[in-house]
Amino acid sequence: MRIGLIGCGEIARRGHLPALKALSDFRVEAVADQDIERARRVAREFGIARTYAHAQELVQDPGVEAIVATVPPVAYKEIVSLAAAGGKPLLLEKPLANSLADAQFIVDTVKRSGIKAGIVQNYRYYAALRDARNRLVSGRLGKPVSVHILLHQHSPLSWSLSPWRFEGTRGVLDDIGVHAFDTLIWLVGSEPRRVTAVGANGLPCCSFLNQVCTLVEFDGGAIGEVDLSWLTGPMVFRVSMLGTGGRLFSDVLYNQVSEHHGHPMPTGDVALLAKKFVFMLRGTMNGSLFTGALMFYRDLYRDFALYVKGANSDFPGVETGLRTVRVMDAVAQSLAGGAAVRL
């Protein structure tokens, strides 16, 4: 697949382009960035032939078959319209949009044009999350009753100095919140119906949201709880689930999943510690321990290629992105109004 990538910032350089370079079925033909010097630097670094300053020029490049957009979400509306007009498939980084109206516009534009348009949800590739979901889908835990997700990450300033994450977005919600709510809906497997949230700025010097706790009620009665923060030092990503037939705990970053039916025995913790130790040792030796979700872009692109061919119906499309934005929009409304919000 001949790719044209728009937006040569951090996630392009650290996630997408290294993965695409390693895949023999993909070739990056051209890159674009409104900062043309950055586009040229990245093209030199990854050996890419053509550079553009405008998304439109890249989409119209006849050598480009499919578009990847790794720009701030406010720019997706325009890029989707261009790709739709050019009839080219598209992969967008998360979140789909910073507002429900923009997300709906994108879904409508994609539907009208008939192009395939996917959204990056790389956290779904964590082995411990896949394992947890497989156990749920297999019925081992019975019907889901509650799912609790704890996702704490240090401030994104350590990732990029670009100011857009702090201006005109919903802070931690539009950043790691997208991953957490997508994971929650993917695990529970039914439609979210009502949202109640509390949140705080947490740092008196900043004007953006960096701490949010949310309850999500689902069709069928399951309850989700999402605890998000940008304020803690180390990253934490844990999921615990209760079903009518058992309980499951997953320490996602350290690849641990434990399932309990009946009373948990302390000996189970020894086995978990041993598993965690082996995971850390292996990750330290092969350098993968702290690269986290950046490791998954190769698998994600293989799945995207199948999705474009119509052979992978599990790949999240823009409708999935819209559903997550709808939940985050309800969270923002609940925070503003101090009450539950129906979806």
Ligand X SMILES: NC(=O)c1ccc[n+]([C@@H]2O[C@H](COP(=O)([O-])OP(=O)(O)OC[C@H]3O[C@@H](n4cnc5c(N)ncnc54)[C@H](O)[C@@H]3O)[C@@H](O)[C@H]2O)c1
Q: How far is the CB of 31 from ligand X (least distance, A)?
A: 9
Token output for 50: 């053509």
Q: How far is the CB of 122 from ligand X (least distance, A)?
A: 5
For residue 98, give the nearest of 337, 343, 329, 320 by alpha carbon.
329
Which residue of this chain has its Cβ atom nearest to ligand X in the complex? Answer: 9
Distances 307 to 91, 119, 324 between C-alpha atoms, Å: 11, 11, 20
**Separation of alpha carbons 103 and 131, rounded Å:** 30
Specify the residue, 182 or 251, whose C-beta has the smaller distance to ligand X.
Answer: 182
Specify the residue, 55 or 197, whose C-beta has the smaller distance to ligand X.
Answer: 55
Q: How far is the CB of 94 from ligand X (least distance, A)?
A: 5
Helix H or strand E segment including 56: helix 55-60
Q: How far is the CB of 251 from ligand X (least distance, A)?
A: 19
Specify the residue, 52 or 249, whose C-beta has the smaller distance to ligand X.
Answer: 52
**Separation of alpha carbons 90 and 67, rounded Å:** 5
- Residue whose pair of structure tokens reads 């695990």 in the numeric block: 187
Q: Is beta strand 211-218 parallel, antiparallel or unpaired with respect to 144-152?
A: unpaired
How many CB atoms sit inside 10 A of residue 123's CB?
A: 21
Q: How far is the CB of 55 from ligand X (least distance, A)?
A: 5
**Separation of alpha carbons 343 and 337, rounded Å:** 15
Task: Say how many CA atoms lie within 13 Å of 204 toward its Cβ.
Answer: 0
**Separation of alpha carbons 189 and 238, rounded Å:** 18
Specify the residue, 10 or 131, whose C-beta has the smaller distance to ligand X.
Answer: 10
Q: How far is the CB of 337 from ligand X (least distance, A)?
A: 26
The footprint of ligand X (CB under 6 A) covers 6-12, 32-35, 38, 55, 70-73, 75, 93-94, 120, 122, 160, 162, 293
Specify the residue, 14 or 260, whose C-beta has the smaller distance to ligand X.
Answer: 14
Specify the residue, 160 or 232, whose C-beta has the smaller distance to ligand X.
Answer: 160
